[in-house]
Amino acid sequence: MDLTYFDYKYSFPLESGASLPGFRLAYTTRGTLNADRSNVVWVCHALTGNANVADWWGGMVGPGKYFDPATDFIICANVLGSCYGSTGPLSVNPATAKPYHHAFPAVTVRDIVNAFDLLRQELNIEKIRTCIGGSLGGEQAVEWAILHPGLIDNLILIAASAMASPWCIAFNESQRMAIEADPTWAENCDNAGLAGMKAARAMAMISYRNYDTYGFTQALDNNEQLDGYKAAGYQRYQGEKIVERFNAFTYWLLTKIMDSHNVGRNRGSILNALGQIKARTLVVGIRSDLLFPPSEQQFLARHIHNASYEEIDSLYGHDGFLIEFRPLTTIIRKWMQAGESAIAPPINRDTIGTEPVNQ
């Protein structure tokens, strides 16, 4: 699907106190906006995702899927700081006429959402029927629901949290240490740090999956093996795969963005922030998730008004939100139907069993 671009040509202040001299967001839309503009579904992508939501969530979005372009107007924008069309570290800095590289300023989840909201206004969208995201995408969705409480009707948060845990930050810092260990990382060139990023991605895969995942998918070929293990090959494969589509500057920045997530920052407390959410909310945890354990989703569900909690039993850990389409579809469909029933016009039971009048 072709990308569309939103160019914001004014100074954009960031939470850090720095600013960008404008920015570009790449985004896609699928389907048609209906007459009353009430069928908007906004999908927020995770760490290395992109605006082509069908590329990475084809089991949830597409013809015949739960989010169907035949009925829904589906929007997905590439996050600020990424490398799939939006302004990021490899973009040209107007002040120097060279790529930003190491000079790209720190960006937070809140900055990303503020950029998204400018795109929303450009598209003249006053209401988002459903905003959904998993992992870093869920962090964007919950932040948006706090920033603009009346904007979102239905909020769906999958394998997400109210703040980045020390555990999550430690995983991210370990990955950044791997990038730092690459002697090319100090350079200001597009290919700097790629060997380090390979190791970083291999580390990340351990947090995205779990012990049982590797035991099932990367089992020994035979009991006589001394080398050539599937698990070792898989880690190297994941490293090679990321360098084909990403750069170390963006990877570094996005892990820092994930670390920045804390809905309570400058809002008094996390509980005070979550209490501002007005959207009807579904929170989904994954039982085997090591990176964002279910206790974090249960916390969200306890402290967001009108929230429901559901849990998926998946072999695939945190990555289950990208894989478990059937249980996710079942959970979301049931929850949405319950919401639609709750807002249906009440039945006047006094008229039941009486003769109709003036038909």
- Give catalytic residue positions: 135, 289, 318
How far apart are alpha carbons 176 and 203 in whole angstroms? 10
Terminal C-alpha separation, the chain? 51
CA distances from 252 to 31, 81, 289 (A): 34, 10, 23
Give me the phi and psi of 215, to 5 degrees please: -60, -35
Concatenate the DSSP letters of all residues of 175-207 into one string.
HHHHHHTSGGGGS-STTTTHHHHHHHHHHHHHH
| HSE of 103, CA atoms in CB hemisphere, 13 A | 13
How far apart are alpha carbons 86 and 114 in whole angstroms? 14
3-state secondary structure of 312: strand
Report the length, in residues, of the chain.
359
CB 145 within 8 A of CB 172: no
Structural element, H or E, at residue 297: helix 294-303
159: left (phi over 0), alpha (psi -120 to 50) or beta: left
Token representation of residue 312: 């998926």
Burial class (CB in 10 A: 0-12, 13-18, 19+), 60: buried
For residue 41, the cross-strand partners are 74, 130
How far apart are alpha carbons 246 and 172 in whole angstroms? 16
CB 305 within 8 A of CB 277: yes
